[in-house]
Structure 1
Amino acid sequence: MESANELVYVVDDDSRVRDALSTLLRANGRNVQAFSSGGEFLDTPRGNAIACVILDMRMPGMSGLEVQKLVRMDSLIPVVFITGRGDVPSAVLAMKDGAVDFLTKPLDEDALMRAVDAALAKAHVLQKEAENAATLQALYQSLTPREQELLPLLASGLLNKQAAAILGITEYTVQVHRGHIMRKMQADSFATLVRQASKLQIRTSPTTTFDT
């Protein structure tokens, strides 16, 4: 669906291609910013818009694959590659690195718009996942150091008395901390708490063994 908060970047060293793509995208209700090189695109500050980038594979200087790698390091912008030549090895690398599609010139307009729609849909999902991860990390940071120690022990399936023995505290204290953890993590069930711990990728020491 179209949105005023969506943006399509076009990166191609051929001005005719940039102009043609920009015209097509705007005719289909898309907001567009065009760049003549990967460096120019990477050097331009990006806001909070949901965005994707149509990226030429072969450009003077920085190649499309190099730009893709740098984009993936610090942003959530899906890539649609375009190229003037059928380049199977590059296409494989691009798709392995997460490209949404790989299209050859001359471009089929319908195929391009489908790829853009898919890329923007992916951008929405990536942003939502990032927001959820940030929220979960903020909840985790609200725990006290002791609660952060206890959470992975509980999530790994230990009984309260086992966790208490490891931390050198009473079972009752573990029960109190457990209640605080559930409340602060906004977990409506223990199963939810276990899933949260998994997403946070917190683990107990793999060398620690416990008696049942």
Structure 2
Amino acid sequence: MSTQHTVFIVDDNQDFRESLAWLLEGAGYTVKAFESAEDFLLGYRQESGCLLLDVRMTGMSGLALQQELIKRGEIIPVIMITGHGDVPVAVQAMKNQAVDFIEKPFEDTAILELIQKTLDDVGEKFNQQKEANAALACWNQLSRRELDVAKLVISGLANREIAEKLDISIKTVEIHRSRVMSKMKVKRLAELMEKVTLIKSEIES
């Protein structure tokens, strides 16, 4: 088990929340528990791990929190915790990218196995998402003309061809290209291409 991950619990039932936290801490996990979706949104800071999320809670529901995390581009995998009557909602949560769901009451071994399975590959995905988020933030800082130049650079055009296409001087292209490289925090074209590949779907939409 890797100690770099955190297991988040969001459930408005205090006894259940504390019991589950005790179980997970006893198994060696780092645990952060919240009594509401709103508290979780205030306290979460892009940590690698997984989220155990109750479907039905006072205030924002588990499904609404899941949808908000998707909207924010968070990569944290979600395991939905459901009561017997919540299975249709849990199925909807699965369609919204939940990795799995488990019904109350559940066996200790079942939840521990599910958590470990979920965490096995979360580190790599989390790091990739952090890199993509950082690259997109840099891309969004480019001016309109810098974006024009950047898109033509990554399409493979030389400075002279870019100048002709945009009807500007080669010197102006060089200035904008330098600014693009600086804002994207890269020194070589290959590095720029790598970052753009991470955010290709976002910048083409």
Shift of 1:72: 3.5
1:108 matched residue in structure 2: 107
Asked whether the equivalents of residues 100 and 115 of structure 1 are also in contact (C-alpha less than 8 Å), the reply is no
Measured in 1, the distance between the counterparts of 2:113 and 2:188 equals: 39
Shift of 1:98: 1.8
Measured in 2, the distance between the counterparts of 1:141 and 1:2 equals: 34
Q: Which amino acid aligns with 1:15?
A: Q
Measured in 1, the distance between the counterparts of 2:23 and 2:55 equals: 20
Asked whether the equivalents of residues 49 and 119 of structure 2 are also in contact (C-alpha less than 8 Å), the reply is yes
**Correspondence list, 1:163-178, <5 A:** 163-169=162-168
1:57 matched residue in structure 2: 55
Asked whether the equivalents of residues 7 and 32 of structure 2 are also in contact (C-alpha less than 8 Å), the reply is yes
Measured in 2, the distance between the counterparts of 1:117 and 1:40 equals: 25
2:23 matched residue in structure 1: 24
Q: Which amino acid aligns with 2:77?
A: P
Shift of 1:166: 1.3
Asked whether the equivalents of residues 86 and 104 of structure 1 are also in contact (C-alpha less than 8 Å), the reply is no
Whose helix fraction is larger, Structure 1's or Structure 2's? 2
**Correspondence list, 1:36-51, <5 A:** 36-42=35-41, 44-47=42-45, 49-51=47-49
Alignment: residue pair count: 199
The percent of aligned pairs where both chains have the same amino acid is 36
> Structure 2 length normalisation: TM-score?
0.71
Measured in 1, the distance between the counterparts of 2:106 and 2:125 equals: 27
Shift of 1:24: 1.4
Measured in 1, the distance between the counterparts of 2:125 and 2:78 equals: 13
Q: Which amino acid aligns with 2:25?
A: R
Q: Which amino acid aligns with 1:17?
A: F
> Structure 1 length normalisation: TM-score?
0.69
Q: What are structure 1's unaligned runs of at least 5 residues?
A: 204-212
Measured in 1, the distance between the counterparts of 2:137 and 2:87 equals: 43
Q: What are structure 2's unaligned runs of at least 5 residues?
A: none
